Amino acid sequence: MEKTSDTVASTPYQDTLDERKKRKQPITVIAIYPGSFDPITLGHLDIIERGCQLFEQVIVVVFRNPSKTSLFSVEQRTRQIRQSTGHLPNLEVDSFEGLAVTYAKIRQAKVLLRGLRAVSDFELELQMAHTNKTLAADIETIFLATSTEQSFLSSSVVKEIAKFGGPIEHLVPPPVILDIYQCFAKNKILEELAPTALPMVRATGGQPIDPSLETPCD
Ligand code: ADP
């Protein structure tokens, strides 16, 4: 049987594409790259740069993750990313409190971009992708495999090294370097004044005692 537009299975994508074609609108694929970025690392930057090659527009969205204690405030993280990505004309940086799919719908983004470093990332990322699919069937999660040289890199690794005064210049974009060193220097002084009040800089880690110190680099 000859396929007509009536017989072709209609997918949520197809509707959008057909509508745009009818309106002779260019088909722009917007991808959002959601994450904590506390702080942005060269691993994140690699995914961002490669995403910008693949999609017409990429939006990096900084989310406040209530289950993680953050070193930097959402505003600081957003600024750090903006300062690190000025060379990418099709990139936007934003922040949001809520679900990634909610933000994607607001911005009419069809792709959630995520990075995969190792099998350990895979289980959680796959679960998240499946969950998001149940929330928004027309939004696809696309994974980019990490570049080999960044496969070990995470924001936590950077914070751990910086906490003990180790070098981080090869791990994060330049705007982050100064912020981290300033933060740990400031907190070292504060820690000496109030040793129990700064969990982020204590070698043992732990839960914040004072919620106002939740983002100690702020
Ligand atoms: P989240 O709290 O959402 O996991 P992260 O900032 O830790 O936020 O990570 C955001 C995304 O970037 C995740 O998909 C993560 O797997 C990916 N990512 C983090 N570091 C790297 C890296 N070195 N290489 C590739 N992808 C990475």
Predicted confidence band of residue 114 (pLDDT cuts 50, 70, 90)? very high
DSSP conformational letter for 38 = T
Does ligand 1 lie within 6 Å of residue 43's CB atom?
yes
Average pLDDT, the chain: 83
How many beta carbons lie within 10 A of that of residue 213, not counting itself?
17
Q: pTM to 2 decimals?
A: 0.80
**What pLDDT does residue 200 have?**
43
Spacing, Cα 41 to ligand 1 middle (Å): 9
**What pLDDT does residue 10 have?**
53
Annotated domain spans of the chain = 12-150, 155-213
Predicted confidence band of residue 1 (pLDDT cuts 50, 70, 90)? very low
**Could you say which of 68, 130, 156, 188 is catalytic?**
68
* Numbers of helices and strands, H then E, in the chain: 7, 5
**What pLDDT does residue 195 have?**
47
What's CA 87's distance to the chain center, in Å?
18
The CATH number that domain 12-150 falls under is 3.40.50.620
Nearest to 175 by CA among 107, 108, 84, 101: 84
* pLDDT tens for each residue of 6-62: 444 455 555 566 676 677 766 789 999 999 999 999 999 999 999 999 999 999 999
